[in-house]
Amino acid sequence: MKTIKKIGYLTLGLASLYIAYITGTGDILNYINFTDPLGEMALCICAIMLSIMSFVSALSSEKVPCSKELDWEWYNESI
């Protein structure tokens, strides 16, 4: 993966962590009016999950082992 994509994933992860932080502390209520605390909690959990997935994508290695049989199987299904 190119380094520019990795930097993009890192910034996305940091931004979503910041959103999760301000949601958890209640500062986001200055910007968004939630009708229910469950919506606020769901936004916080989704932001944390997005940050975890972004950091995993940014910090993973470029080489993923895959078998040749699966490559041929996916190729044959796409025809």
pLDDT band at 65 (very low <50, low <70, confident <90, very high): low
Give the integer Cα–Cα distance in Å for 67 and 20.
38
pLDDT digits (tens, 9 = 90+) for 23-41: 999 999 999 999 999 999 9
| Residue 6 pLDDT | 84
pLDDT value, residue 1: 57
54-74 per-residue burial string, b: 16 or more CB within 10 A, e: under 16: bbebbeeeeeeeeeeeeeeee
Query: pLDDT tens for residues 43-57?
Result: 999 999 999 999 998
> Which one, of 75, 56, 43, 76, lies nearest residue 1 by Cα?
56
